[in-house]
Amino acid sequence: MSSNEEAFTTPEAGQLADAVDALFEASLTAVPESGIAALLREIETSTRRLAALGHRLLVEVCERSIPQRVGAGSPVRYLEETLLLSHADAVARVKAAKQLGTWHDVGGQALDAVLAHTAKAQAAGEISADHARVIAKITDRIPNGVSREDREAAEQILVELARSATPDDLPKAGERIIAHLDPDGTLTDDTDRARMRGVVLGRQRADGMSPIKGEITPMLRALLDPVLAKLARPGMCNPDDPQSPWTADDSVTREQVEEAAARDNRSVAQRNHDALQAFLRPEMGPDNLGSHRGLPVSAIFTMSVAELDQAAGVVTTASGGTVSIPEALKLAEKALPVLALFDHQGMPLHLGRGKRLANAAQRLALIAAERGCTRPGCNAPATLAAVHHITEWAEGGTTDIENLTLACDHCHALVSDGPGGWRTVKLGGDSDFPGRTGWIAPTHINPTGIPRVNLRHHSKELITQARSRIRAREERDALRHRRWLATRAHAPVAAAF
Ligand SMILES: [Zn+2]
């Protein structure tokens, strides 16, 4: 390689370096808070786009066989040597370029990226390299038998979620999408899960402690979640606090729990431990759990008539998990869980344990319709959400279902008319999501002021929508192709110019 080649770079790369220099030299002290946020956002967008640019360069590196020519052998080794990257970093970048880069066939024709939606969003700076990595990891797990259309729909949904969520939020959404893509469990069914189940109590150590590990079935999870939602709440069952409520019956007031929560310094793991300990005491047990946010503490399953008709697929639990329909029905026969069945309009048809639920019908309807906190990006399942007024009671809001929504305590506290506050609205018929609750973010998060919905708890609905979008696009393309063919057939010479 000549020294000439070594020094060659493009003028654009020089301009990029100049722009970064200018940013370093600029004084930030006079920039207002909103300006700092805007600058952070702009730099983040550029960083994301630069990562996508990296894929382009890596495609060149590989298609020109540069690693082989310079003796590095593989692109990973080439990156390690040229950029002094760690092995893990180099592997991750090559893998990302394979899935997100635009490669060419032997004739030089550009091929669509393997994850085309992800690649497009990253190149536009809408999602980060981290988002893309998590999306690739999830799509890798989609069973082979899933159709190309559904696979693309799943990717599209994940990209859509990634635009308003952190990479940490994606795996859970991915689990649910895969559960819906593989509803009959062709890959993993209840028998497989039953085989995998197990809880191992390790040998008690000299310090008195015992390790515990294992894997639990969706059903045990569905039964355990409500117990933890009630007894592992901050303030409950705290052995360090003599005033902490240990009984779960409804004589414990909200104020008592809140006061105890303010004194509670335990970790989530410690609270889970103490909740199990409390639950296993002879005077407790499942019959004495009382209610949690107005509904009995037991597994709450919601499913629609269509889902029940198919008797396949999964039902959603109020704690955000999924259980296969045959398993849920088996448990429902013993009337232990609350089984809420909804018609196509989302109206309750059957409420197990009817009389205890009389005044909780609205909450159940909200659980079925909204499934969790409605603020965009929030993962809190229905068990961690309370019913809130969209137009506050004090401002004339009614307690009709149209004016109610689920929000977790954290998100509800973000709602205010002040400059940093979120606002909620019921979306009208002209929206993509009529009847759903839209949240308007404060300007430092979303300067457009356009209300957004939480897509997190609705993977099935999203898949249907994405499928119809893909179908519409394919029909459009086919129509365009047919028209193009027609013009060529009628005027072959004119069409060529
Ligand atoms: Zn929330």
Rounded to the nearest angstrom, the distance between the alpha carbon of 425 and the centre of ligand 1 is: 15
d(Cα 122, Cα 101) in Å, to the nearest integer? 11
Asked whether residue 481 carries a pLDDT value surpassing 50, the answer given is yes
Whether the CB-CB separation of 225 and 217 falls below 8 Å is answered with no
Both tokens assigned to 209: 């402690």
Rounded to the nearest angstrom, the distance between the alpha carbon of 482 and the centre of ligand 1 is: 48
Average pLDDT over every residue of 430-451: 84
C-alpha distances out from residue 297 to 185, 290, 364, Å: 29, 6, 13
Residue type present at position 396 = G
Overall size of the chain counted in residues: 497
Rounded to the nearest angstrom, the distance between the alpha carbon of 313 and the centre of ligand 1 is: 27
> 455-464: per-residue pLDDT in tens?
777 766 666 6
Whether the CB-CB separation of 150 and 181 falls below 8 Å is answered with yes
Angle, helix 33-63 to helix 116-123, in steps of 10 degrees: 130
CA 20 to chain centre: 34
Rounded to the nearest angstrom, the distance between the alpha carbon of 266 and the centre of ligand 1 is: 22
Rounded to the nearest angstrom, the distance between the alpha carbon of 265 and the centre of ligand 1 is: 22
Buried b / exposed e over 385-396, threshold 16 CB at 10 Å, is bebbbbeeeeee
Rounded to the nearest angstrom, the distance between the alpha carbon of 481 and the centre of ligand 1 is: 46
Rounded to the nearest angstrom, the distance between the alpha carbon of 413 and the centre of ligand 1 is: 9
| Bigger pLDDT: 119 vs 347 | 119
Rounded to the nearest angstrom, the distance between the alpha carbon of 164 and the centre of ligand 1 is: 13
Rounded to the nearest angstrom, the distance between the alpha carbon of 196 and the centre of ligand 1 is: 33
> 345-394: per-residue pLDDT in tens?
444 444 443 333 334 566 767 777 788 899 988 888 887 888 888 877 66
pTM of structure: 0.52
Quote the Cα angle for 376-381-383, to 5°: 140
Whether the CB-CB separation of 216 and 197 falls below 8 Å is answered with yes
Rounded to the nearest angstrom, the distance between the alpha carbon of 408 and the centre of ligand 1 is: 4
Rounded to the nearest angstrom, the distance between the alpha carbon of 386 and the centre of ligand 1 is: 10
Q: How many CB atoms lie within 10 A of CB 238?
A: 22
Both tokens assigned to 29: 């002290």
Question: β-strands 385-389, 348-351: how paired?
Answer: unpaired
> 150-178: per-residue pLDDT in tens?
889 899 989 988 888 889 888 888 888 88
C-alpha distances out from residue 14 to 10, 21, 47, 326, Å: 7, 11, 17, 63
d(Cα 396, Cα 337) in Å, to the nearest integer? 36
Rounded to the nearest angstrom, the distance between the alpha carbon of 246 and the centre of ligand 1 is: 27
Both tokens assigned to 382: 């229905």
Rounded to the nearest angstrom, the distance between the alpha carbon of 378 and the centre of ligand 1 is: 5
d(Cα 294, Cα 151) in Å, to the nearest integer? 40
d(Cα 458, Cα 466) in Å, to the nearest integer? 12
Rounded to the nearest angstrom, the distance between the alpha carbon of 244 and the centre of ligand 1 is: 26
Residue extents of the structural domains in the chain: 15-140, 216-296, 460-496
Rounded to the nearest angstrom, the distance between the alpha carbon of 371 and the centre of ligand 1 is: 11
Question: β-strands 338-342, 300-304: how paired?
Answer: parallel
pLDDT at 196: 73
C-alpha distances out from residue 207 to 201, 212, 213, Å: 15, 15, 18
Judged by average pLDDT, the poorest of 14-18, 86-90, 268-272, 352-356 is: 352-356
Rounded to the nearest angstrom, the distance between the alpha carbon of 432 and the centre of ligand 1 is: 21
pLDDT at 490: 53
pLDDT at 391: 77
| Bigger pLDDT: 332 vs 142 | 142
Rounded to the nearest angstrom, the distance between the alpha carbon of 409 and the centre of ligand 1 is: 7
- Mean predicted lDDT score pLDDT of the chain: 80
- 């939020």: which residue's tokens? 169
